[in-house]
Copies of this chain bind each other. A is one copy, B any other.
Amino acid sequence: MAVYTEVSDEELNAFVAQYDLGGLLSCKGIAEGVENSNFLLVTERGPYILTLYEKRTRREDLPFFLGLMEHLSEHGVDCPLPVHGTDGVALRELCGRPAVIVTFLKGMWPRRITATHCAQLGGALARLHLAGAGFAMRRENALSLAGWLDLNTKCQERADEVQPGLAATLAREVEWLRANWPVRLPSGVIHADLFPDNVFFQGETLTGLIDFYFACNDFLAYDVAICLNAWCFEPDGAFNATKARLMLAHYQKVRPLSHEELAALPLLARGSALRFLLTRLYDWLNHPPGAFVQPKNPLEYLRKLRFHQGVRGVGEYGIDLGPDVDGGEGI
């Protein structure tokens, strides 16, 4: 829960006056969100979201993120749309931070994930991947292999404080992934952080995706692997193959995965598990004692990593590959 920056009413009124939104009726800081400060504005035109980008979001990446939301929205993806001021500008400054107003997306993120949620997510993820195809800007994934090597180095010394033997596990996994990480797979714009709190539903109908601040260019199937980890494990740590099967099947109805992509999924899922294990571990070891935001438990992702290490083939994710099929027939 996080509002890092206090915005005065004078500053806010002056800020909102630059838009064609009518008078400002109210502004409440939103408790959710970890990286940035978010406020729900109610104006005479209705509700909007104001985001102030805090230090972990790099200023130079913002044109990519905002441009991507506009591109996706134009191509049929339900996501927040940056609002332009009367001067045409969307990205401004407020209280010394980059700031934007985006449109309000109805829906709530699901606290208890059902198989139906997973099915809908699969379709939405595939549509996101297709819609991203024509986006002209590029952003490297800072949290892929090179980033893991770096985080692993930073965590090695103290990883065993969290669990004895963790440092060795991490070192072996990073080394194995370095030796085996794919060089060529279908690539494009990925969300890269599509956890349940970034996907809104009304009832069991998906209403949109938010929080594109880790989006980047990478293997599309890596985004699928991130969602496998984020959506298809139960709170007790058990993998739910029904959820995975539905997610993958509905993904493939929109964008069939190639044989290479399917074959790479267990490996990509290991990479994705390691990515969140490392970033959570780093935050766990380095968060200031009195911090607002409680760091997430890294060991959840150690368990997921171990699961994927034991997977012998994509069939364990609920897909019947058959003897000689491409992904399109694998459902």
- Give the B-binding residues of A (Cβ under 8 A): 1-3, 6-10, 12-13, 23-32, 40, 42, 47, 104-112, 201-203, 289-290, 292, 294
Given contact pairs A28-B31, A29-B31, enumerate 8 new A-B contacts (beta carbons under 8 Å).
Answer: A1-B3, A1-B31, A6-B111, A9-B110, A26-B106, A28-B30, A30-B31, A290-B294
For the complex of A and B, 8 pairs with smallest distance between CB atoms? A29-B31, A8-B111, A25-B106, A3-B31, A31-B31, A28-B30, A9-B108, A28-B40
Q: How far is the CA of A40 from the CA of B201 in the complex (A)?
A: 17
Q: How far is the CA of A25 from the CA of B29 in the complex (A)?
A: 18
Report how many copies the assembly holds.
2
Do B27 and A30 touch (CB < 8 A)?
no
Do B292 and A25 touch (CB < 8 A)?
no
Do B32 and A28 touch (CB < 8 A)?
yes
Do B28 and A1 touch (CB < 8 A)?
no
Q: Could you say which residues of chain B place their CB within 8 Å of the CB of A202?
A: 23-25
Please name 15 pairs of A and B residues whose Cβ atoms are closer than 8 Å in the assembled complex, sorted by A. Answer: A1-B29, A3-B31, A7-B111, A8-B111, A8-B112, A9-B108, A12-B108, A13-B203, A25-B106, A25-B202, A28-B31, A29-B30, A29-B31, A30-B30, A289-B289
The answer, among B25, B201, B290, for a CB contact under 8 Å with A9, is: B201
Do B2 and A31 touch (CB < 8 A)?
yes
Q: Could you say which residues of chain B place their CB within 8 Å of the CB of A31?
A: 1-3, 28-31
